[in-house]
Every structure is written in C-alpha cells, then in structure tokens.
Amino acid sequence: MVKLICFDLDGTLIDSRLDLAGAVNYMRGTLGLEPLETERIVGFVGNGAEMLVRRAISDANVDFEEALRRMKKYYRDHLTDTTKLYPGVSEGLKELKKAEIKLAIITNKPKDATEQILTKFHVQQYFDDIIGGDGPFPLKPEPAAILYLMNKHKTAYQESWMFGDHYTDLEAARRAHIRSALATYGFGDAKEEKFDFSVESFGEFVFAIKGF
C-alpha cells in the first residue's frame, strides 16, 4: 500500500527547461559572455541554483556571487514565461489525492518560487508538504527531508515513494531506504542509480503506483 509520495518538481511535475536556460543566458549576457545551448544548460540542472550557476560560468573568470544574484533575480521574474505542467499532472495529482495518499514536494528550488509555480497552475492544494532547497534540510541527494516526512506522516519504508527524473532523487530515496520511480520524460540523468520502475508519462506513473 502506498501512503506517501515525495515528488521532485523540475523535470517531474513541470517542464521548466526554457525558463531556466533563459535565466542563465540572461546572466551570461549581462556579464559579457556568449549564450550557451539550452540542452547544455539543462544538463547543469539538478543540484540547486548555486551549482547550476557554477557550472554555467565554469568557462569564464567572473564573480560567482554576482552571477548568482543576476540569474536568481531574473528567474524570479520569469518563473512561468514558458514553464508548464507536464501532461496529466493536474489530473493525476487529483486522483492520487482522492486515494488519500500523502503528497509532498522535495525540490532544490526555493520554496517561495515553488509555491508561486504551483499556485499559477492550480495544483498547490494537492500537496500536504512543500520542502524547498532553502528550507531546514540539506539538498537532495541527502535523504533528511524524506525521513522527516516519513516520521511526520508515520509511514513505513515500503509505503513511501520518491518520484523524480534525476539521480539526486533516486539517490535520496536509496539512502532513505524507500522505493523510487524514474520520470524518463524529464530532463535529468539517472546515472547509475537504481529504481523500482520508470515511466514515460505522469499518467503512467499514477496507473503504476496504484498497483502497489
């Protein structure tokens, strides 16, 4: 029986690649740097904003703190210019909520930005918990946020799941000793991490999870 599902955000619930790439290239442009290809920037995503910026300016001698400030400010103002929910997410979350499963988000994105995005797409009400990268827990792949939610909702290891598109999600699940599923439709990289199953759509995840 499934009692708790922890979701990643970027690449799992939302397709945010163009807005993230736009913020990075805006930052690079204001610092006199050439733009990077979108897919290259997307490959930098998954370990929080600081690591994204460090990777994005690794070819230049510029001030990191200033680069980070510019990127974050621009991104805050352009959170949903092109970002959208993946197909089936709204309907799927509603279905999981009706099944009385506790739903949570664990993301390396700041909590306020996460809440703005969820509110924009009218899905915030489905989540019992939203844990951002600026909260009290270390970033994924550290498992602390998962363990906190399991304790809060009194769910056993076999009743708890992590669903994401990146190795940080899968590693966090492994280290928390819970089950995990991979969103192959996202833009993350599973690397060598194992998972219980993979899906090519959010609707497929909902269908599969109801079988456990």
> Which distant-in-sequence residues (6+ apart) come within 8 Å of 198 by Cβ?
181, 182, 183, 184
Residue type, 41: I
CA distance 53 to 69: 10
The answer to whether the CB of 106 falls within 8 A of the CB of 6 is yes
CA distance 114 to 189: 21
Q: In angstroms, what CA-CA distances link 12 with 28, 134, 140, 156, 181?
A: 27, 19, 15, 24, 11
Catalytic residue (one of 8, 15, 165, 169) = 8
> Which distant-in-sequence residues (6+ apart) come within 8 Å of 35 by Cβ?
25, 28, 29
63 in catalytic set: no
CA distance 70 to 89: 31
Residue 162 has phi, psi (to 5 degrees) of: -120, 130
Active site amino acids? 8
